[in-house]
Structure 1
């Protein structure tokens, strides 16, 4: 029986690129909220999940405590993390 493969470890990305990701995803969510059309709900969910992942990456980069789950963040938890990142000096 062979050993399972080692997990792939991504090198950390610079915080400036992570903040750019957050800004782009925030803007995309705002655009989707104003739009209609086919599969809008699915696009919003996918974008919100990507935003949550980028938010968690920023938290890790700035040592802001965050629970590492794969589920979407609770809206209150998302707001708390955004406030903590802003308090740490991050803008996006």
Structure 2
């Protein structure tokens, strides 16, 4: 007679491991047993990684200007997949806008994807109010 208890225990272990792995992928929190090792690996990686130099705000302003012109070209154009091109251009603009605001110490909303029109307007207004132009 096969060892049913051993098979069930093995199945529970495999399912538990899969659930922990999926939870780690979706939330970013590793399983409890792996956390010390992951912290040590991250600390080693952080010590070896050079600290990047900050990008000057003038370069970020130039990038915002370039991306704004690109968005206008995409909106006016009639190339295929216009919606996807417009979405990609706006996401790039939002990313550059956040970087510019961080560079000049303006608070930045946390957004996983792009910014809403209201958030974009408030960030652009804050930049203009602080004397920055692009």
Q: For the residues of structure 1 that align with 2:50 and 2:115, how far apart are their CA atoms?
A: 24
Alignment correspondent of 1:41: 83
- Conserved? CA contact 1:56–1:68, under 8 Å: no
- Where structure 1 has 5 or more consecutive residues not aligned to the other structure, the ranges are none
| More RCO (CA 8 Å, sep 6+) | 1
- The TM-score normalised by the length of structure 1 is 0.88
2:109–2:119 Cα contact (<8 Å) kept: no
Q: Which runs of 4+ in 1 moved over 4 A?
A: none
Q: Which residue of the partner structure matches residue 24 of structure 1?
A: 66
Count of residue pairs the alignment pairs up: 92
TM-score norm. by structure 2 comes to 0.62
Q: What does residue 115 of structure 2 align with?
A: 73
> Cα RMSD over matched residues?
1.9
Distance, in Å, in 2 between the alignment partners of 1:13 and 1:44 is 26
Contact 1:29 1:47 in 2 (8 A): yes
Instruction: Report the equivalent of 1:86.
Output: 128
Match of 2:53 in 1: 11
